């Protein structure tokens, strides 16, 4: 088949020093990008530059370093907001998707969810978009209900409509599944939810890193994503929301930075988004996220997506030619993100990952923090290969070759 | 690490045809544990006879070849031995039983899950607390 490239992958690979590493004497084939991506030298340099040239706290020092650090941190916010079509005043820097959903749970949920309310999530959610709602439901006496899936791994929209008839307070849904790759029709879902007065939380952990996303067009009340899955450092991510919604909410964590004035018996809150950024923030990594956004923009998210769809198409074909491989999720690469979950005969995914590792191929094996989905698939675990900009057709070939080796070892 | 060393014929045989797989009608010890990293799960039952001997040992579970072969082999070793034998059992014994494969730190947990379940059950039966000191480092 034609191995077209949306951009020059070999050149992109040079930006990622880790790809020169050998694992067990083999070329590193990194296919665990849904867990976390590698970082381009530019991002590493941005961290070094911050710490060696203008390290300082933000928003509170009037000296030169403080002003430079504040400008860089706020520039990172603007860039990140622009990258996803969000209002910078509504973009809160957090630790990642998990902290974002927890922020919503406490700062929005405590005030807005009442006894007897219904909350809705889906069976394909990552635990970070389930457990906070479980705990919220428990503390408030609300009920958490789930939208099931169609056999092809898409959401059962009929079931969603049924649940919306119960006028839920909250609808929580992933933009893109980290296991099935399913891209959910989040703008339609948000519009439907809005009609019945439900607040929407969209988990963008697997969409923002891989495809063009316009949060304004999605129409979600809350949209969360993680920097480390989009070439940025660990420890930084964002929650994007309408400014007015954030203004109505109570604080999440409290202390320095998030206040306007403190009196003996009460305090007033800083403007958003600072109201939700208590204490000294993760300055360096946020600046790193801004740099990652610049890097991705220089390639162009349309092209990133095109590249991943091409690899996905190639991988789906290659894997389905291996006898005994069962692939999960929608068959059409245009309807899924750059992730392929599969099982191979009776080879447990952990054994498969060990065998592939020996070939330098890094995949993920396990439940992928999606145990409800594993139960729906009726498997204890899956193997998962996931792509990003630096992956090549050769990487997919290495995966397939590794599978053949595993087949031999397991005498399949 | 060589996966050819790990996935030897005998390991695959125990994985695909586990010995002592199933539940006991009568048992004195029932112990269960899982490995949250892998989702490996093991339940073990022991019937204790005269002289504190483990007369019957059975297990059920699911998981990778290493965890399931390891626990199955362990039930064979344990059967007929006194409970005191379990206290003496070390992780080196388990590695030896598996043919001393060179396992990475995360897979060591798989290999030792069966031992942990057996020890937890037997220690509990004897009124003692099993400490995980015999196990590998957390992955
Ligand atoms: C779909 C999805 N949601 C949420 C998360 C959680 O992200 P983080 O661990 O960065 O908070 C992940 C990644 O693990 C994910 O894939």
Cα-flanking dihedrals φ and ψ of residue A330, to 5°? -60, 135
What does the angle CA B10 – CA B11 – CA B13 come to, to the nearest 5 degrees? 65
Cβ contact B132:B123 at 8 Å? no
**Residues A224 and A119 both lie in one domain:** yes
Q: Which CATH number characterizes residue A310's domain?
A: 3.90.1150.10
Domain assignment of residue A124, yes or no? yes
Structural domain of residue A287, as residue ranges? 45-297
DSSP three-state, residue A366 = strand
pTM exceeding 0.80: yes
List the end-to-end C-alpha distance of chain A, in Å, as a whole number.
27
A97 alpha carbon to ligand 1 midpoint, in Å? 6
**Residues A152 and A245 both lie in one domain:** yes
Write down how long chain A is.
412
Domain assignment of residue A401, yes or no? yes
How far is residue B120's CA from residue B42's CA, in Å, rounded to a whole number?
12
- Using alpha carbons, select from B54, B50, B48 the residue that is nearest to residue B75: B54
Position A60 scores a pLDDT of 83
How far is residue A286's CA from residue A118's CA, in Å, rounded to a whole number?
35
Atom of ligand 1 nearest to the CA of A99: 11
Residue in A358, A380, A411 closest to B2 by CB: A358
Interface predicted TM-score (ipTM) of this complex, two decimals: 0.89
Domain assignment of residue A37, yes or no? no
What does the angle CA B66 – CA A124 – CA A95 come to, to the nearest 5 degrees? 85
What does the angle CA A11 – CA A16 – CA A17 come to, to the nearest 5 degrees? 115
Extract long-range pairs of A75-83: CB within 8 Å, 24+ residues apart.
Answer: A75/A290, A76/A286, A76/A287, A76/A289, A76/A290, A76/A291, A76/A293, A77/A273, A77/A286, A77/A290, A79/A290, A79/A293, A79/A294, A80/A238, A80/A289, A80/A290, A80/A293, A81/A240, A83/A208, A83/A293, A83/A296, A83/A297
Q: Check residue A351 and report its DSSP letter.
A: H
Output the CA–CA distances (angstroms, integers) from residue A355 to A305, B12, B55, B107, in the order listed.
30, 14, 37, 12
Of all protein residues, whose CA lies closest to atom 12 belonging to ligand 1? A205
**Residues A183 and A252 both lie in one domain:** yes
Q: What percent of chain A has pLDDT over 70?
A: 100
Q: Which CATH number characterizes residue A163's domain?
A: 3.40.640.10
Q: What residues have CB less than 8 Å from A288, skipping those under 6 apart?
A: A39, A43, A46, A47, A227, A232, A233, A236
**Residues A332 and A197 both lie in one domain:** no
Position B137 scores a pLDDT of 38
- Cross-chain residue pair B62–A350, CB shorter than 8 Å: no
Domain assignment of residue A19, yes or no? yes
A181 alpha carbon to ligand 1 midpoint, in Å? 13
Mean pLDDT calculated for residue range A212-222:
98
How far is residue A320's CA from residue A329's CA, in Å, rounded to a whole number?
13
**Domain final residue, candidates A253, A272, A297:** A297
**Residues A321 and A398 both lie in one domain:** yes
Of all protein residues, whose CA lies closest to atom 7 belonging to ligand 1? A97
Q: What percent of chain A has pLDDT over 90?
A: 97
Position B40 scores a pLDDT of 87
Position B128 scores a pLDDT of 77
Radius of gyration of chain B (CA): 14
Q: What is the pLDDT of residues B31-61, one digit of tens each?
A: 999 987 777 899 999 999 999 999 999 999 9
**Residues A289 and A340 both lie in one domain:** no
Q: Residue A146: left if φ>0, alpha if ψ -120 to 50, beta else—which one?
A: beta
- Locate the chain B residue with the closest alpha carbon to A23: B1
In chain A, the number of structural domains is 2
Output the CA–CA distances (angstroms, integers) from residue A8 to A133, A315, A318, in the order listed.
43, 19, 22
Output the CA–CA distances (angstroms, integers) from residue A216 to A82, A189, A190, in the order listed.
11, 14, 11
Q: Which residues pair with A203 in a beta bridge?
A: A174, A224
Mean pLDDT calculated for residue range A323-337:
96
Strand positions, DSSP E, chain B: 29-35, 40-48, 54-62
**Residues A100 and A239 both lie in one domain:** yes
**Residues A195 and A310 both lie in one domain:** no
Residue in B2, B38, B41 closest to A350 by CB: B38
Q: What percent of chain B has pLDDT over 70?
A: 94
**Domain final residue, candidates A297, A329, A351:** A297
> At residue A1, does pLDDT exceed 70?
no
How far is residue B59's CA from residue A327's CA, in Å, rounded to a whole number?
31
Report the largest interatomic distance among the alpha carbons of chain B, rounded to a whole angstrom: 44
**Residues A90 and A77 both lie in one domain:** yes
**Domain final residue, candidates A275, A297, A319:** A297
**Residues A293 and A314 both lie in one domain:** no
> At residue B15, does pLDDT exceed 50?
yes
pLDDT band at B134 (very low <50, low <70, confident <90, very high): very low
- Min Cα–Cα distance to chain B from A208, Å: 27
Q: What is the pLDDT of residues A131-169, one digit of tens each?
A: 999 999 999 999 999 999 999 999 999 999 999 999 999
Q: What is the pLDDT of residues A20-70, one digit of tens each?
A: 999 999 999 999 999 999 999 999 999 999 999 999 999 988 999 999 999
Q: What is the pLDDT of residues A243-273, one digit of tens each?
A: 999 999 999 999 998 999 999 999 999 999 9
Domain assignment of residue A40, yes or no? no
> At residue A278, does pLDDT exceed 90?
yes
**Residues A190 and A171 both lie in one domain:** yes
DSSP three-state, residue A146 = strand
Cβ contact A203:A174 at 8 Å? yes
- Cross-chain residue pair B66–A381, CB shorter than 8 Å: no
What does the angle CA A18 – CA A19 – CA A21 come to, to the nearest 5 degrees? 70
Position B139 scores a pLDDT of 29
Cβ contact A343:A382 at 8 Å? yes
Domain assignment of residue A338, yes or no? yes
- The domain spans of chain B are 3-136
- Fold type of domain B3-136: Sufe protein. Chain: A (3.90.1010)
How far is residue B105's CA from residue B112's CA, in Å, rounded to a whole number?
11
**Residues A94 and A21 both lie in one domain:** no
A35 touches chain B (CB under 8 A): no
């Amino acid at each position: 088949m034609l191995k077209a490239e949306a951009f020059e992958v070999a050149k992109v690979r040079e930006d990622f020093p880790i790809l020169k590493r050998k694992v067990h004497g083999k070329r590193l084939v990194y296919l665990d990008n849904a867990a976390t991506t590698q970082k381009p030298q530019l991002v590493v340099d941005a961290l070094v530059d911050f710490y060696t040239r203008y390290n300082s706290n933000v928003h509170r020092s009037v000296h030169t370093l403080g002003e430079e650090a504040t400008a860089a941190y706020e520039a990172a916010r603007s860039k990140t907001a622009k990258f996803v079509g969000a209002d910078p005043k509504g973009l809160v820097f957090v630790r990642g998707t998990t902290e974002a959903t927890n922020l919503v749970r406490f700062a929005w949920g405590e005030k807005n969810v009442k006894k007897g309310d219904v909350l809705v999530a889906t069976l394909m959610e990552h635990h970070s978009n389930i457990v906070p709602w479980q705990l919220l439901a428990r503390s408030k006496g609300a009920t958490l209900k789930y939208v099931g899936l169609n056999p092809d791994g898409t959401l059962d929209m009929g079931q969603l409509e049924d649940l919306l008839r119960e006028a839920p307070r909250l609808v929580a849904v992933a933009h893109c599944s980290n296991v099935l790759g399913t891209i959910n029709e989040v703008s339609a879902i948000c519009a439907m939810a809005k009609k019945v007065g439900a607040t929407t939380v969209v988990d963008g952990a697997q969409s923002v890193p891989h495809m063009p996303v316009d949060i304004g067009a999605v129409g979600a009340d809350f949209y969360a994503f993680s920097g480390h899955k989009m070439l940025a450092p660990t420890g930084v991510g964002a929650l994007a929301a309408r400014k007015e919604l954030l203004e109505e909410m109570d604080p999440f964590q409290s202390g320095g930075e998030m206040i306007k004035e403190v009196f003996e018996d009460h305090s007033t809150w800083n403007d958003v988004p600072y109201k939700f950024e208590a204490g000294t923030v993760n300055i360096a990594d946020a600046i790193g996220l801004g740099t990652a956004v610049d890097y991705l923009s220089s390639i162009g998210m349309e092209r990133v997506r095109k590249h991943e769809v091409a690899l996905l198409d190639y991988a789906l074909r290659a894997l389905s030619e291996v006898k005994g491989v069962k692939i999960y999720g929608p068959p059409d690469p245009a309807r899924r993100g750059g992730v392929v979950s599969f099982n191979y005969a009776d080879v447990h995914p952990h054994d498969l990952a060990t065998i592939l590792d020996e070939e330098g191929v890094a995949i993920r094996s396990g439940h992928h923090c999606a145990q409800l989905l594993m139960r729906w698939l009726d498997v204890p675990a899956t193997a998962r290969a996931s792509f990003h900009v630096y992956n090549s057709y050769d990487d997919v070939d290495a995966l397939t070759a590794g599978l053949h080796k595993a087949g031999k070892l397991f005498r399949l | 690490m060589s996966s050819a060393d790990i996935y030897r014929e005998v390991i695959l045989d125990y994985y695909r045809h586990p010995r002592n797989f199933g539940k006991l009608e009568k048992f004195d010890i029932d112990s269960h544990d899982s490995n949250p990293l892998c989702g490996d799960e093991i339940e073990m039952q022991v019937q204790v006879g005269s002289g504190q001997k483990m007369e019957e040992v059975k297990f059920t579970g699911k998981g990778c070849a290493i965890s399931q072969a390891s626990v199955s082999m362990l039930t064979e070793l344990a059967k007929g031995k006194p409970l005191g034998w379990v206290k003496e059992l070390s992780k080196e014994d388990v590695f030896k039983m598996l043919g001393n494969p060179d396992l990475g730190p995360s897979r060591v947990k798989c290999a030792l899950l069966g031992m942990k379940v057996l020890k937890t059950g037997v220690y509990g039966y004897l009124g003692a607390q099993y400490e995980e000191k015999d196990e590998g480092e957390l992955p």
